[in-house]
């Protein structure tokens, strides 16, 4: 199944925002406007490298009210599998890319009485777009943004200028840290909390919220895992009758696509659940790296999320 009709775009601006973050502005090659989106949406950027095709999710950070172009920020990851490296090294003004339509898996809760936004590092990007939406409402909101240092904090100045009273910045280098427990223990009923940042920060927010009695329905997070690497293994796709070899630095989904099978996906980050595949047989163990399947589902061994998960085995059979 293919939902992924892509839109050809041209890079019209590239800015070095911090030593490791670049901002890309993408405009439709065909002219006109890009599809409308709401704050918190992401797009998949398709990068056609010499050896391989990369498809990475990036949050849209530009205003949902301006559709002549989209903006995404890309953090250069040290142990990059290729996607962020490709964006930083190969993509320049004039480069042509393809993007998938925006999807929102991190939407603001419309009925909230207050929004508490917690960002860490590059996790600021979805909030940049949401701030545009929030300024149009009467609902109170606060943004708390933690970075390593002012130098590594993208858009710190922009945020403190636009939101002087509703934002608070924390820099590790200055010994200032976000007091997650203090923040979560003092919120009035009807508040929703949103967190986007490093895995450790997300885990701390989720654990603290639960300990303080927050129901899960009021806690929202977005963490796109890059597909972890591992040993190579072989897969057989039972419905398509196709054998696939997964390389150590390739995701299961990428290997399936490279074999010419059109598998479903939406976020490519282990979040949305769209790519869930049924495991028919495996002669080893599944290595689950997603945030979607429940602990029971993972333990059952019946399902796998090919976008981020893999297997330690010689042969895995999927009902695809």
Q: Is 191 in the site for other proteins (CB under 8 A)?
A: yes
Binding other proteins (rule: CB under 8 A), the pick from 32, 94, 200, 215 is 215
Beta carbon nearer to other proteins, 73 or 208: 208
Q: Is 188 in the site for other proteins (CB under 8 A)?
A: yes
Distances (CA, A) of 296 to 49, 51, 273, 288, 292: 38, 38, 15, 12, 11
Q: Is 294 in the site for other proteins (CB under 8 A)?
A: no
CA distance 105 to 42: 8
Beta carbon nearer to other proteins, 38 or 185: 185
Q: Is 182 in the site for other proteins (CB under 8 A)?
A: no
Q: Are 102 and 39 in contact (CB under 8 A)?
A: no
What's the closest the beta carbon of residue 189 comes to other proteins, in angstroms? 5
Binding other proteins (rule: CB under 8 A), the pick from 164, 216, 260, 294 is 216
CA distance 213 to 120: 23
Q: Is 58 in the site for other proteins (CB under 8 A)?
A: no
CA distance 222 to 304: 20
Q: Is 218 in the site for other proteins (CB under 8 A)?
A: yes
Binding other proteins (rule: CB under 8 A), the pick from 187, 250, 289, 309 is 187
What is the x/- site pattern for other proteins, positions 77-116, by CB under 8 A?
Answer: ----------------------------------xxx---
Beta carbon nearer to other proteins, 97 or 195: 195
Burial per residue of 268-296, b for 16 or more beta-carbon CB atoms within 10 angstroms, e otherwise: bbbbbbbbbbebeebeeebbbbbbbbeee
Binding other proteins (rule: CB under 8 A), the pick from 160, 186, 203, 229 is 186
Q: Is 179 in the site for other proteins (CB under 8 A)?
A: no
Tell me which residues in 195-214 interact with other proteins (CB under 8 A): 210, 212-214
Beta carbon nearer to other proteins, 16 or 186: 186
Q: Are 129 and 142 in contact (CB under 8 A)?
A: no
Q: Which long-range contacts does 156-161 make (Cβ < 8 Å, 24+ apart)?
A: 159/124, 159/131
CA distance 15 to 250: 29
Beta carbon nearer to other proteins, 1 or 188: 188
Residues paired with 58 in a beta bridge: 43
Binding other proteins (rule: CB under 8 A), the pick from 2, 51, 217, 294 is 217
Residues paired with 100 in a beta bridge: 6
Q: Are 272 and 247 in contact (CB under 8 A)?
A: no
Interacting residues with other proteins (CB under 8 A) = 111-113, 184-191, 210, 212-218
């Amino acid at each position: 199944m293919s939902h992924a009709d892509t839109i050809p775009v041209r890079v019209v601006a590239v800015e070095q925002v911090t030593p490791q973050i670049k901002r890309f502005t993408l405009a439709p090659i065909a002219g006109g406007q890009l599809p409308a989106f709401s704050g918190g949406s992401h797009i998949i950027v398709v990068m056609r490298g010499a050896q391989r095709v990369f498809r990475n999710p990036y949050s849209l950070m530009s205003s949902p009210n301006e559709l002549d172009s989209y903006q995404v920020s890309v953090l250069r990851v040290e142990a990059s599998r290729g996607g962020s490296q490709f964006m930083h090294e190969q993509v320049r003004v004039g480069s042509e890319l393809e993007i998938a339509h925006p999807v929102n898996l991190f939407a603001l809760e419309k009925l909230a009485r207050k929004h508490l936004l917690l960002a860490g590092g590059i996790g600021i990007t979805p909030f940049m777009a949401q701030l545009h939406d929030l300024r149009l409402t009467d609902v109170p909101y606060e943004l708390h943004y933690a970075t390593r240092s002012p130098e590594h904090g993208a858009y710190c100045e922009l945020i403190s200028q636009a939101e002087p009273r509703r934002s608070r910045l924390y820099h590790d280098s200055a010994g200032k840290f976000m007091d997650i427990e203090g923040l979560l223990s003092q919120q009035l009923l009807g508040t929703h909390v949103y967190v986007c940042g490093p895995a450790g920060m997300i885990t701390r927010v989720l654990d603290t919220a639960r300990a303080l009695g927050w129901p899960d329905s009021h806690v929202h997070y977005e963490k796109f895992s890059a597909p972890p690497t591992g040993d190579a293994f072989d897969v057989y796709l039972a419905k398509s009758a196709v054998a696939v070899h997964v390389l150590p630095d390739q995701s299961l989904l990428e290997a399936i696509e490279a074999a010419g099978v059109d598998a479903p996906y939406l976020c490519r980050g282990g979040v949305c659940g769209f790519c869930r595949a049924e495991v028919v047989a495996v002669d080893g163990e599944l290595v689950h790296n997603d945030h979607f399947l429940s602990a029971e589902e993972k333990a059952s061994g019946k399902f796998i999320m090919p976008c981020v998960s893999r297997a330690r085995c010689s042969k895995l059979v999927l009902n695809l």
